Structure 1
Amino acid sequence: MSAATLLQTSLSDLSLTRRGKVRDVYAVDDDRLLIVATDRISAFDCVLPTPIARKGEVLTALSQFWFDKLGHVVANHLLTSDVSQMPENIQRHSEVLARRSMLVRRADVFPVECVDRGYLVGSGWKDYLKTGEVCGHKLPENLQESAELPEPLFTPSTKAEEGHDENISEAQVRDIIGADATAQLRDTSLRLYSEARNYARERGIIIADTKFEFGLDKNGELVLVDEVLTPDSSRFWPADQYQPGRSQPSFDKQFVRDYLETLDWDKKPPAPAIPPEVAQATTERYVEAYKLLAGREL
């Protein structure tokens, strides 16, 4: 592992509240959290032992870009991603935290993930092949893999700390969080996806699908949380290479998944290491996605 990569943090003067597949989350005070995007990468619900250089940097910068760009749609939890503007006990760790950290407002996060799909791929494609439906949405017959859907779909899922998230219907979401909250999450996430998708298309990227998470702040207002429209939470395809009826080239971690599919691995921990050339190619895809979407170098 090079000095430029980070697999795990250990900040002795902050309380670690959660270590996710990619992010380490620390309590700052009663109102704020510190979210650190490491260079860990997961596939098939397993964290790989190989770090992806600059990954945490891309996830943080791209989330900041989208929080700024889509702030007119819904408020978000980001306070700053500039470590020099964070409390002193965080600044002491600036060498580790710079360019990969967000100071955010706490929120009461909804226990569902808002997945929005514009194309038939991934678990949606698998569900369609079995049932002709995706999360309760009946689709036309004889659609191809990666086909563009007639209109974007709200296809929520459960949130699993470990193992697979499960696709659920909108009716099931209503049973979990109520009808009003479900309608608000559906309408807000679809608007976010539609605006981002239209913007990205002009930049040469198809956002095939993405995942949003929402919460309520201490005033009960809806806020967008976690990461937003990154190569980890979305499928990014180069528009000039799009061809339905097959798996698409991508700017996301599908490249790693495709490599792992060539191995004799049962998709259970421990996950295998990936070769340096696969890790490097993944870094290049993530950085290129940022450059195309943000219109500037990272």
Structure 2
Amino acid sequence: MPTVLSHSTLPGLTLLHRGKVRDVYALGADELLIVASDRLSAFDVVLPDPIPGKGEMLTQISNFWFGRTAALMPNHLTGKSVAEALPAGVDLALYEKRSVVTRRLKPVPVEAIARGYLIGSGWKDYQAGGTVCGIRLPAGLRQAEKLPEPIFTPSTKAALGTHDENIGFDQVVATIGADLAEQVRVATLAIYRHAAEYAAERGILVADTKLEFGTDADGRLYVMDEMLTPDSSRFWPAEEYRAGTSPPSYDKQFVRDYLETLDWNKQAPGPILPRAVIEGTAAKYAEALRRLAGITID
């Protein structure tokens, strides 16, 4: 059975950051231990109910994708044992499948997003002005319609409790410089195209995905944090896809759709989730893991 962990506790290790989902600990000066909890965020608010096993599933699917895309872009994984990094006395079974030992990188302060379909905030921006992140799109596109080609649509990297905002490529250049901005754009689109082609062969459409990058002391770029998970992507079952409406999904859109039915202002604290929504979300994550990576949750 999958483990349940809302907040990690690792005595003897320095907690550097507790994010929406991941807790980050220092392992000396050059490495980190990243623990994926079962916390769930929606609309940039961490909800009060954990999704059992979610952190294990996120870590396993990320590791799968990091392996598949290593030839396209180096990633933060060191390959070192989680067991050896944990403090003595900590329950290995609770942490082993949800944790990784990584390089300690300088985060690029931009959310790198690739879109292949018109949905979410991209759809809202398109309705308002026919563009997404300054990119002019053809007139007459419908909700969830496939774009002529994937586009790079970055956003700000919001602090906990605040909302990301879509930005244009020029703002990315102003923030991190032209050379690094172009490296991030090229890598994001290359990874998205690779993943979309692979997933389509398994009956899943990758509508969009968000990637995070970091640089080492020499300025080399790495993809980091998580990759192509149900938290950071929209996965649609190909057999149920129809342009013109928001398709069912193997990701947290299931939770977003439920939350949109509530009288909630999308500010903390988030609402309590019904058991059916918690169990349904866990099942969707498990199905994505099984179909994409061939990993089954016991």
Which band: TM-score by shorter chain? Answer: over 0.9
- 1:280 positional shift: 0.5
Separation (CA, whole Å) in 2 of partners of 1:75 and 1:37? 21
- 1:270 positional shift: 1.1
* Cα contact 2:33–2:85 (8 A) shared by 1: no
2:206 is aligned with 1:215: no
Aligned twin of 1:194 = 193
**CA 1:91–1:117 in structure 2 vs 1: closer, same or farther (change >3 Å)?**
farther
* Cα contact 1:81–1:101 (8 A) shared by 2: no
Report how many aligned residue pairs link the two structures.
296
**CA 1:224–1:114 in structure 2 vs 1: closer, same or farther (change >3 Å)?**
same
Aligned twin of 2:119 = 121
Separation (CA, whole Å) in 2 of partners of 1:92 and 1:34? 14
**CA 1:170–1:91 in structure 2 vs 1: closer, same or farther (change >3 Å)?**
farther
AA partner of residue 178 (structure 1) = G
Deviations 1:140-176 (A, max 9, x none): 1111000000000000111011311111111111111
Q: Report 1:1-298 matches (<5 A).
A: 4-80=3-79, 82-84=81-83, 86-87=84-85, 89=87, 92-162=90-160, 163-298=162-297
Deviations 1:59-96 (A, max 9, x none): 00001000100000011001237523x33527744243
AA partner of residue 121 (structure 1) = I
Secondary structure at the aligned position of 1:79 is classed as coil
Deviations 1:228-258 (A, max 9, x none): 0000000000011000000110000011111
**CA 1:90–1:181 in structure 2 vs 1: closer, same or farther (change >3 Å)?**
farther
Secondary structure at the aligned position of 2:141 is classed as coil
**CA 1:289–1:5 in structure 2 vs 1: closer, same or farther (change >3 Å)?**
same
Separation (CA, whole Å) in 1 of partners of 2:88 and 2:123? 43
Secondary structure at the aligned position of 1:230 is classed as coil
Q: Provide the aligned C-alpha RMSD in A.
A: 1.5
AA partner of residue 108 (structure 2) = F
Q: TM-score by structure 2 length?
A: 0.96
* Cα contact 1:81–1:99 (8 A) shared by 2: no
Give percent identity, aligned residues only: 52
Runs of 4+ in structure 1 off by over 4 angstroms are none
Secondary structure at the aligned position of 1:224 is classed as strand
Deviates more, 1:45-54 or 1:89-98: 89-98
Structure 1, unmatched stretches of 5+, are none
- 1:4 positional shift: 3.2
- 1:12 positional shift: 1.8
Deviations 1:102-138 (A, max 9, x none): 1100111111011000000000000001110000100
Structure 2, unmatched stretches of 5+, are none
